Structure 1
Amino acid sequence: MRVFDRRGVRPVGRAGDLLISLALPSGIRATVDPRGATLVDLWVPDREGRLDDILLGHEVPGQGPRMFYGSTVGRYANRIAGAAFTLDGQAHRLAANDGPNCLHGGPEGFDARDWQVVVPDEASVTLRLVSPDGDQGFPGRLTAQVAYALSEDDAGARLDITMTATTDRATPVSLTNHAYVNLGGARDAARLRGVGDHRLSVAAARLVPVDAAAIPLAEAPVAVEGTPFDFRHPARIGDRLRVGHPQLLAVRGIDHCFCLYGAGFRQAARLEHPETGRVMAVWTDQPGLQVYSGNWLDGTHRGKDGVAYRMGDAICLEPGAWPDAPNRPDFPPAILRPGERYLHRMALVFPTPR
């Protein structure tokens, strides 16, 4: 592990000023910022062995508009309708930051906090955050940890992201990583193209339909069969985004939770970029996968190396609980209670390109 300040100049000790570099002998590497427990970059090879950063974002998280680039979002990823829920007979009012709703934990969610670095080594780092009782309206004192670990073998490389939490009072919890991925490479403005040429498969036969505010409809979930959301077999993303389906029109593209098959730690999605040969599989133990096609990237602000990001320049594959589960007893539960341990295991797996 290498620790350096935000200008890459010298080691520093305060979490708000440092970046952490994780690296493997092959050159595959990642940078983590304790601010937001953020995955700043991730360099992986193409079929010719050329390394490129596949993540959109800022060199320093928080430089531009709050887009959650690579950050750890919580205390509850996705939306809670009306910024309110009732738990064990008690009503809780949350901080609204997406119209009347609470998105990704509220206006000062976990992505906006300085996490403490607690366990570093050459290829992994663990960060911790204590969220006090009443934080953004959520009940309970929550202690959360996120661990990033790089590894590789003959089959390829992987980044394991392990999120845990404990609480002293019952509270909703769903943590995830919000990486914006473009397997073609994200640093070169001349080469950056949208993810329309990527092929996506998702292990789900149902999804959660939403209204224009991205809040689940009463009839959720519904079957993907016969819709542009059917990614049970690999399909070009661009071919699906241009279909005039009401659910695509409602949120300007894909921004939906897919209801994953099965339980336990399993592959949820596979993203392929035929031109470079890069492939990324997403593994998780959670019940849902939010697929977001970068609908609100509008070219009005610059990211890494001054590149202006446009609609569809990346895709986010965010495992977690279903949206608004605290208000939907028909959805898989997402409540953590005292004495329990929240655990979300996810991994980004990169088979050796061919």
Structure 2
Amino acid sequence: MKDNIDINDKLVRIIGIQFFGVVIPNATGLVNNTDRSILYLAAAYAYFMLIAFLIWQGNRLLLFKLEEKYNWFINPAQKVVMILGGNVFYTAPLVIIMLLGWYQLSQEVVDWGVIKVTAIVCVICVIFITHAYETVFLIKQRESDKVKGEKLERAKVQAELEALKNQIDPHFMFNSLNNLAYLIDQNPAKAKQFTENLAEVYRYILSNKERKLVMLEDELLFLNKYLSLLYLRYDNALSVTFNLSENDKERYLIPPISVFFALENVVKHNEISTRFPMSVEIWKRGHSLWISNPVKEKKSLEHSSKIGLTNLDERFKIIVGKGISTEHSHQTFKIELPMLPLAS
């Protein structure tokens, strides 16, 4: 998602519009200062400054719109075509129409040669100025990316500190090892599977902690390994339902371990037992992944600073361009994780 970049070009526009409104008519022969009254020249230059204003403002607005929609680094050829096409097909017709209006007002004979030359000169000037704007955009984008990178690094350090509590949570490890010890005595086959899944969980966490985005399909495959541990921990008291098509899984990117955090949040804050079974639902709506669970708050909650969800929200804002959102009622808790669609 692209950041909105502000360009303070007010002074440049004021000077540029007046400059081109005077220079171009003289250079192309539209205005001949010989034997012309001051009133005529004032009206002429005012009219051509109006044309310069419409050309500049129109192309500026067009460029800003295209800047929001197209990215040099993703599809440069398409952006070049759209910008040049917009410059030509907006500027040339506008110049021709406005010059015909000028000939009508001044009651002079229409000179199509002068109109043609003026239109070409205006288009060339517009392309030159657009290039200058794009250069400024790229410089500011680089500065913005640098600040964004520094912010991401700060958030990463904070997130990694919290990861020691969330990714390798002592209670989670304690329960996992207890379950493993029990299974070794009671069911060696399950103990082996449990160990393999536990290893897969931490292998995924360690191998993806440096990455910004992963395929949704890979994230959900990891999640199944993690869920196998939870199912052994809670028996039949926990169920997780996925309402996602295979096509959806292959079409989206998501920050790694984000769904893990969302499920850990469910486990951490809710009572899960045979008396209070927990049913979690995961589905896609729009370009977001939703996780929903009934609220069954633990009677005795550990102190929580909510840093986990805060860090998750910060990661999404920086990487995806949109933070997570939650919906909390007495009956249900929902969390929305925005995703990035793959370019088709």
TM-score bracket, normalised by the shorter chain, equals under 0.3
TM-score, normalised with respect to structure 2: 0.22
Choose between structure 1 and 2 for higher RCO, CA contacts under 8 A separated by at least 6 residues: 1
TM-score, normalised with respect to structure 1: 0.22
Structure holding more helix per residue: 2
Bigger Cα Rg: 2
Structure holding more strand per residue: 1
